[in-house]
């Protein structure tokens, strides 16, 4: 595999494109909006500049990686030569199913189709194609250039050959691939999201405040970031979406999103990306303070 197409130029998509380009792959980054692609290239360049300053890569390495990166708003031309497509689009089932139907028609038969979904069934996504044996989950962690883990999810029909190819590819990216089976939330979010939800419930019930909850988890459990701050970083809408997938997929009320989370998402308080969630980011993420709603 040499030609990689990444679908979606958001935070995860640009990070995935960054890593593939850095490690010598030809990358085509696709998005429906040219403005999103322009922002992605600017972000990738800025992040590579940081790597140069930290002496993780050289200036020549950066320039070569950027030279391997192209962008497009035309899906057909973006994927027709791809050996692997990694989808990092919006975390909505309908969007992903429609996209994979198109990818199945537009890519060559040998192309592996991967999804960066954090919770949606790979088996369900694969069923939208005529090549379910070549559909797999590659759940990268954010920030992609820094985090080592790739959660590799086998759908019901994913072949051993496809799994082995993606595991070996992940290692070439200097990542650590960890396989798991296709159940709602997989492993990472099946464990993480109930913890975040319980932190929100604790805040909602007045057990403790925002900073207190986060401090206890950071200082007592050695978490680098408290669960409420992490929820802001992930996006409260994304957290709610994943919890709904867990709730609907497993049928257990313990996964139902806290009413406070639902209300915040409805009000547009989505965390860092909207400027406010449990914290206020109006002065930048490094100067975040507890949102006035919770003071």
Is the peptide bond between 66 and the residue preceding it cis, with omega within 30 degrees of 0? Answer: no
Q: Report, as residue numbers or ranges, the catalytic residues.
A: 118, 139, 151, 189
Looking at 140-226, list the stretches that DSSP marks H as alpha helix, in order from N- to C-terminal side. Answer: 160-172, 188-204, 210-221
| 31 assigned binding-site residue | yes
| 142 assigned binding-site residue | yes
Residues 124 and 272: their CA atoms lie apart, in Å, by: 31
| 141 assigned binding-site residue | no
| 275 assigned binding-site residue | no
| 147 assigned binding-site residue | no
- Asked whether 278 and 265 are in contact (CB, 8 A), the reply is no
Residues 104 and 106: their CA atoms lie apart, in Å, by: 6
| 251 assigned binding-site residue | no
| 175 assigned binding-site residue | no
How are beta strands 289-290 and 3-7 bridged, if at all?
unpaired
| 90 assigned binding-site residue | no
- Asked whether 281 and 273 are in contact (CB, 8 A), the reply is no
| 9 assigned binding-site residue | yes
| 271 assigned binding-site residue | no
Burial class (CB in 10 A: 0-12, 13-18, 19+), 161: exposed
CB atoms within 10 A of CB 179: 17
Annotated binding-site ranges for NAD(+): 8-13, 31, 91, 96, 118, 142, 273
Annotated binding-site ranges: 8-13, 31, 91, 96, 118, 142, 273
């Amino acid at each position: 595999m040499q030609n990689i197409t990444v679908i979606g130029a958001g935070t995860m998509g640009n990070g995935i494109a960054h890593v593939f380009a850095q490690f010598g792959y030809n990358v085509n980054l696709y998005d429906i909006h040219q403005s999103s692609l322009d922002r992605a290239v600017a972000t990738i360049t800025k992040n590579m500049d940081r790597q140069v300053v930290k002496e993780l890569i050289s200036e020549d390495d950066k320039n070569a990686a950027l030279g391997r990166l192209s962008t497009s708003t035309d899906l057909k031309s973006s994927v027709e030569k791809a050996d692997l497509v990694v989808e990092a689009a919006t975390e909505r089932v309908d969007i992903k199913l429609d996209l994979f139907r198109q990818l199945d028609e537009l890519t060559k038969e040998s192309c592996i189709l991967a999804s960066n979904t954090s919770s949606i069934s790979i088996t369900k996504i694969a069923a939208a194609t005529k090549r379910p044996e070549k559909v797999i989950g590659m759940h990268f962690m954010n920030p992609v250039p820094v985090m080592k883990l790739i959660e590799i999810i086998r759908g019901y029909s994913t072949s051993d050959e496809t799994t082995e190819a993606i595991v070996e590819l992940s290692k070439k990216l200097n990542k650590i691939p960890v396989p798991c089976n296709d159940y709602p939330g997989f492993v990472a979010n099946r464990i993480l999201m109930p913890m975040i939800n319980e932190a929100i419930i604790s805040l909602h019930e007045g057990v403790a405040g925002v900073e207190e909850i986060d401090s206890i988890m950071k200082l007592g459990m050695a978490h680098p970031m408290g669960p409420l701050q992490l929820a802001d970083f992930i996006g409260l809408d994304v957290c709610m979406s994943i919890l709904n997938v867990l709730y609907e997929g497993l049928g257990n009320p313990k996964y139902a999103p806290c009413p406070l989370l639902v209300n915040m998402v409805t009000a547009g308080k989505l965390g860092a990306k909207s400027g406010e969630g449990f914290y206020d980011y109006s002065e930048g993420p490094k100067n975040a303070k507890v949102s006035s709603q919770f003071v």
